[in-house]
Chain A
Amino acid sequence: MSSKPPMRMREKVLLRVASRVFIPLILLFALYVQFHGDFGPGGGFQAGVIFAAGFVLFGLIFGLETLQQVVPWSIVERSVALGLLIFGGVGVACLLRGGRFLDYGVLDHHSSMHGQHLGILIIELGVGLTVAATMLAIFYAMAGRERT
């Protein structure tokens, strides 16, 4: 998967058109899975993988260089750590508000249930960010290598 095969793939009209139709749908579905995980199947982990899969498909069709213009390496690298930081940060925020670590009930003044919803939503976002960025980082690292 050096730069040569994606270049050839880009010239195939069918792949290019089909991927243009599917990639927005894949990303939209990932967002749905991410934010609807409390109510339906899915959650941060699945959403992160689907989100990364959309970008990987883009990279396979249009080439790694194009993908790296869309999602620069510096963003990927930072997102890997940022997601974990968000998760841990929610735990610390619970501590600061007088609760226990990762006990989200204290995040909302009025209702413990709303606090729990908020906490789960934010930590799922952190999980999704770390997973998506890690998958992309692995793809970048492997696809960017020349054949030895």
Chain B
Amino acid sequence: MWIEIVLFALLVITAVTIAGLNDLFAAAMLSGIFSLLCASLFTLMDAVDVAFTEAAVGAGISTVLMLGALSLTGNRENQQPLRLGPFVVVLLTGAVLIYGTLDMPAYGDPAAPIHQHVAPEYIAGATAEFGLPNIVTVVLGSYRGFDTLGETAVIFTAGVGVMALLLGRRKRRDGDEVETSGEGHGDAKS
């Protein structure tokens, strides 16, 4: 119980600190810490697979990519006066979201609708049909194989999009800088 309270408190402190920072380098590092705290909370909720993803993607790769982006731009945010309109919209949205959670079933409630639909079948089938102890893998790989195929296609599309945007432009600007790429590089130009 206490560890959840401490982690949530740290999460809030990190979020508020990020919002107030002008130094984007510190903000990128703190957002990595934010992800790590989220991963710890997911672990406490027994969602180890989600925690794993959050730690690897949120705290690892995206922090590195953020720092990479900062090394190409500046690492200071332009000072802007606090605008009241967006601030009120954000506060209202947050309040509505919190109001929405009040109707949700209690955490871990076995009678919650989400645990009554297909979950019992999956839990029984993972052992009987598959004999695999990690139900998450069985659901992702087999029961929801189409979804995972779609997800992989989304990642593929994201990769192709980044290549088309970043590499295509670079080649047009200075054509001699192609030593970083193989012969398939020409596909990336749009």
CA distance A45 to B61 in the complex (A): 13
* A49 & B56 in contact (Cβ 8 Å cutoff): yes
A126–B152 CB distance below 8 A: yes
Contact B155 A130 (CB under 8 A): yes
Alpha-carbon distance A92/B68, docked complex (angstroms): 39
B146, B152, B170: the one within 8 Å of A84 (CB): B152
Asked whether A73 lies within 8 Å of B180 as measured between CB atoms, the reply is yes
Residues of A in contact, count (CB < 8 Å): 64
Q: Is B112 an interface residue (CB 8 A)?
A: no
- Chain B residues 122 to 154 lying within 8 A of chain A, measured CB to CB, are 129-134, 136-138, 140-142, 145-146, 148-149, 151-153
B residues near A60, Cβ cutoff 8 Å: 64
Contacts of B187 in A (CB 8 A): 77
Contact A140 B180 (CB under 8 A): yes
Bound Cα distance A46, B55 (Å): 9
Distance in angstroms between the alpha carbons of A71 and B72 in the assembled complex: 23
User: Are A46 and B53 interface neighbours, CB within 8 A?
Assistant: yes
Interface readout for B153-190 with A: 1 if CB under 8 Å, 0 if not? 10110111011001100100000000011111101000
Interface residues of A in 22-42 (CB under 8 A from B): 33, 37-42
Question: Contacts of A84 on B, CB cut-off 8 Å?
Answer: 152-153, 156
Complex contacts, B142 vs chain A, CB 8 Å: 102, 104, 116, 119-120
User: Could you write out 5 A-B pairs with CB less than 8 Å apart?
Assistant: A68-B180, A73-B180, A116-B132, A120-B132, A145-B166
Instruction: List B residues at the A interface (Cβ < 8 Å).
Output: 48-49, 51-53, 56-57, 60-61, 64-65, 67-69, 71-72, 129-134, 136-138, 140-142, 145-146, 148-149, 151-153, 155-156, 158-160, 162-163, 166-167, 170, 180-185, 187
Does the CB pair B69–A49 fall under 8 Å? no
- Is A127 part of the contact surface with B, judged by Cβ < 8 Å? yes
- Inter-chain CA distance A37–B140, complex, in Å, is 11
Beyond A116-B142, A126-B152, A142-B166, 15 extra complex contacts between A and B, CB < 8 Å: A1-B71, A1-B72, A39-B134, A53-B61, A73-B182, A74-B182, A77-B184, A83-B152, A84-B156, A87-B152, A102-B142, A104-B142, A112-B129, A142-B68, A142-B72
Kindly state the separation between the CA atoms of A99 and B57 in the bound complex, as whole angstroms: 35
Q: Given A41-B48, A87-B152, A113-B130, A147 and B61 touching (CB < 8 A)?
A: no
Pick the contact of A43: B68, B137, B160 (CB < 8 A): B137
Contact A139:B64 (CB < 8 A) given known A74-B184, A113-B130:
yes
Residue ID in chain A nearest B141 by CB atoms:
A120
Residue of A nearest to B159 (CB): A134
* A98 at the binding interface (Cβ < 8 Å): no
Are B71 and A127 in contact, CB atoms less than 8 angstroms apart?
no
A134–B159 CA distance with the chains assembled, in angstroms: 5
A residues in contact with B130, CB < 8 Å: 113, 116-117, 120
| B133–chain A nearest beta-carbon distance, Å | 6
Q: By the criterion CB–CB under 8 Å, are A52 and B132 in contact?
A: no
